[in-house]
A = this chain, B = another copy of it.
């Protein structure tokens, strides 16, 4: 029950596409991630996922279009929707994610980027 400072938490790790858990709210978790380049195409069959951009501009590719999510904006990807987050111009982007505790990082897609358990910081 202490305030959580995002810049302070962000200083604790540097790996890209590797979410770190900063809080749990009911059966959902708050994650911070640094991302750069392209992730992998995947979907979560049972879980919606919220992306909030803390720094930079995130692009989320959907099958029919790409959405641009700027600093201070957020977007919800509903369950079952195939998506692939990415950044452009080699930009390092910082994002906060709100997800079910039950979620799998890359959904049903196998990937070398997959994180099985999110570190708690």
Contacts and interface: CB of A to CB of B under 8 A. Distances in A.
Which of A23, A73, A76 lies at the interface centre, i.e. has the most chain B CB atoms within 10 A of its CB? A76
Which of A24, A68, A74, A100 lies at the interface centre, i.e. has the most chain B CB atoms within 10 A of its CB? A74
Nearest to A4: B74
Interface string A53-73: 000000000100001111011
Contacts of A77: 1
Given A1-B62, A70-B3, A28 B30 contact: no
Interface residues of A, number: 32
Contact of A24 (B3, B67, B76, B100): B76
Contacts of A98: 25, 28, 98
